[in-house]
Chain A
Amino acid sequence: DVKVTQSSRYLVKRTGEKVFLECVQDMDHENMFWYRQDPGLGLRLIYFSYDVKMKEKGDIPEGYSVSREKKERFSLILESASTNQTSMYLCASSQGLSIYGYTFGSGTRLTVV
């Protein structure tokens, strides 16, 4: 069965810390995405990548960066965590230009204190 794995289910970090959220997929998908989801605001796209070493800004990239050194891994980095980055973070992947939808990871609930 296809899988997108996010390294942590729950994380608590302090304000100002550098935070790494890891996402690994085993489906050889070209496309990978990072979203955050907050009550009443829906899914908001942070960054996405269509290929190794390639990245594109989504709708809310401020305060975040990403890294994709290998096809299967897409990392989201919070350079200096702030309380307004407390959220559910969802990674997703999809195949090339196919007609199929995304496969989501199980999510990371990040709390910044």
Chain B
Amino acid sequence: QKEVEQNSGPLSVPEGAIASLNCTYSDRGSQSFFWYRQYSGKSPELIMSIYSNGDKEDGRFTAQLNKASQYVSLLIRDSQPSDSATYLCAVKETENAGNMLTFGGGTRLMVKP
């Protein structure tokens, strides 16, 4: 069974620090990778997508993809208390029709003032 793995946390970082969230996936042919942020009691919100090896930056967020190691990460610079949420990694696998995503279990991030 194809899997997407994340450390459930909580990952605790001080305000202003860099938070590093990691995700590994089992399907070597996976093509598209996504990070969702989910606040407690709310629905997931797409914050980053990445499709090729390397880094992709958007504001304080950087997604990193290494297909050879089957590893995708999300860095949050200058972490703020408002970044405290659960971050879900999602992967689109090659054999799926219809754009099916496989989700990891999520990492809970806590940013302490």
Count of residues in A whose CB is under 8 Å from the partner chain: 22
B44, A48: Cβ atoms closer than 8 Å: no
Interface 9-mer from A11-19, A63-71, A73-81, A92-100:
A92-100
Is A106 an interface position by the 8 A CB rule?
Answer: yes
Nearest residue (CB) in B for A31 is B98
Given contacts A42-B104, A42-B105, A42-B106, contact A97 B99 (CB under 8 A): yes
Point out the residues of chain B lying under 8 angstroms from A109, CB to CB.
Answer: 41
For the complex, would chain B's binding face be called helix, strand, loop or mixed by DSSP majority? Answer: loop
Tell me, in angstroms, the Cα distance from A105 to B43 when the chains sit together.
7
Count residues on chain B whose CB falls below 8 Å from chain A CBs. 24
How far is B42's CA from A103's CA once the two chains are assembled, in angstroms? 13
CB closest chain-B residue, reference A108: B43
Within the complex, which residue of B32, B41, B45, B51 is in contact with A104, where a contact is CB–CB below 8 Å? B45
Residues of B within 8 A of A102 (CB): 44, 46, 90, 99, 101
Query: Hey, which chain B residues are within 8 Å of A104, CB to CB?
Result: 36, 43-45
Known: A30-B98, A42-B103. A99 touches B44 (CB 8 A): no
Interface residues of B (CB under 8 A from A): 31-32, 34, 36, 41-46, 49, 51, 88, 90, 92, 97-101, 103-106
